[in-house]
Amino acid sequence: MTDAPLDLHHWIGGKRVAVDRPSERRNPSDLDQVVARLPDAGQAEVDAAVAAARAAFPAWSEASPEARADVLDRAGQILWDRRETVGRLLSREEGKTLAEGIGETGRAARILRYFAGEAVRLHGQALDSVRPGVSVRTRRRAVGVFGLITPWNFPIAIPAWKAAPALAFGNTVVMKPAGPTPATAEALAAILHEAGLPDGVFNLVIGRGRVGQALVDHPDVDGVSFTGSQSVGAGVAAGCAARQARCQLEMGGKNPLVVLDDADLDRAVTVALDGGFFSTGQRCTASSRLIVQDGIHDRFVAALAEKATALRVGHALDPQTQVGPAATDDQMETVHRWIETARDEGGRIVAGGERLSLSPRGWHVPPTLIVDTVPDMGINTNEVFGPVVSVVRVKDYEEAFAVADAGEFGLSSGIVTTSLKLATDFQRRIRAGMTMVNLPTAGVDYHVPFGGTKKSSFGPREQGYAAADFYTWTQTAYVFA
């Protein structure tokens, strides 16, 4: 298996496009290693990709759903068969541990195969009209060309869960992958075309933020699905609204995990460790706020600090590594700034917090646990997006619920308790799109809806059959016979 640098391409109209490559992506675990040399698209490449997608739309949208299903099923099988190779590339490019990289690649394969099935299950309704002799039928139809703007933290799973339903339901796609992780996205593009996807149905344009903006503003792009920050997402929404394009936004979370006095201590620690620190904490569903009741607080903190300190930080490809590096230098520095801010505001660090110097050089951050925080501190209101977890001590369930439900985010939430009554009350009242009982806030299934409330999400849900709400429109037909 070679780890030689890759020369990346755009995919436009079913072809790899030869380009200059002015920049490179280095391995977050080993900064001396170049993973890929990157092109940098401009308006011309976006225009060409959108034109190719527009030209391919009529035939693809009118094709048999079985034909679309077959392509996605083949692509899913190819990706599954190559999950170790593609997973290794993902780990070298993004910094996930090898086990996480292979696992994410396998998840993407399953998403492709799931939506292969959904392609032939797209259904409408047959109803009686209020008028005698008239029948009514609804059907879902493909929308057109979608711009997909994907993040770096799940560089193949999120492209798959955006592209697969778009393609399954007859749409065509122009994807702009995140700047740090285009190689994994190009691997997906190559597999889709190898599986028999017609030219122009899926296009990939690699570049900086201007590429995403060009997709948002393009008059021939019918909808945009975006995953990223709140600030960028607000601009995407405004751009789409200005020309009445469809818009779907996923914009992160500051997810609470409540631990009550009656919780099983070992279970609570395991849930918090998984949700807070794995995938280097770079998950929008990470359990970054722990809200812990008085009676269990000290024992829980001591046990979690011990487990966090014992986590092995290192090179993503080392099988002993449990926490890989941050994906970028900027992300590492952002995480350290928030750690220092929390310390300055009165937080006490009981695990991690220091700057690491490992060999080979990488963007490593130790799992960090901060206690003695209060709800309005910056560490509890901002998405840090790293292996950093803060703890708020509370007296009782009602205080815990109030702290958990506060803030601008509402993506995921969780509670660890043996009380069915309190678990049920928490799920009923919390303003979060997803909620877990005795489970990490991170870790969701691909066949059910994904999304949040408040400023975490905007527009229809992703994943599962809910994806049809965004990638299709409903036509109602009346017949008198």
| Residues annotated as part of the active site | 250, 284
Q: Around Cβ 286, how many Cβ atoms within 10 Å?
A: 33
Beta carbons of 462 and 450 less than 8 angstroms apart? yes
| Three-state DSSP state, 348 | strand
Question: Omega of the bond prior to 180 within 30 degrees of 0, cis?
Answer: no
Task: Provide the CB-side half-sphere exposure for 149 (13 A, CA).
Answer: 29
Taken in order 185, 187, 192, 196, is the CA torsion positive or negative? positive
What's the CA gap between 223 and 35, in Å, rounded? 32
Q: How far is CA 179 from CA 12, 105, 334, in A?
A: 18, 19, 17
What's the CA gap between 198 and 309, in Å, rounded? 51
Residues β-bridged to residue 393: 292
What's the CA gap between 237 and 226, in Å, rounded? 9
What's the CA gap between 419 and 417, in Å, rounded? 5
Beta carbons of 173 and 163 less than 8 angstroms apart? yes
What's the CA gap between 304 and 192, in Å, rounded? 43
Q: How far is CA 346 from CA 168, 232, 365, 388, in A?
A: 51, 31, 21, 16
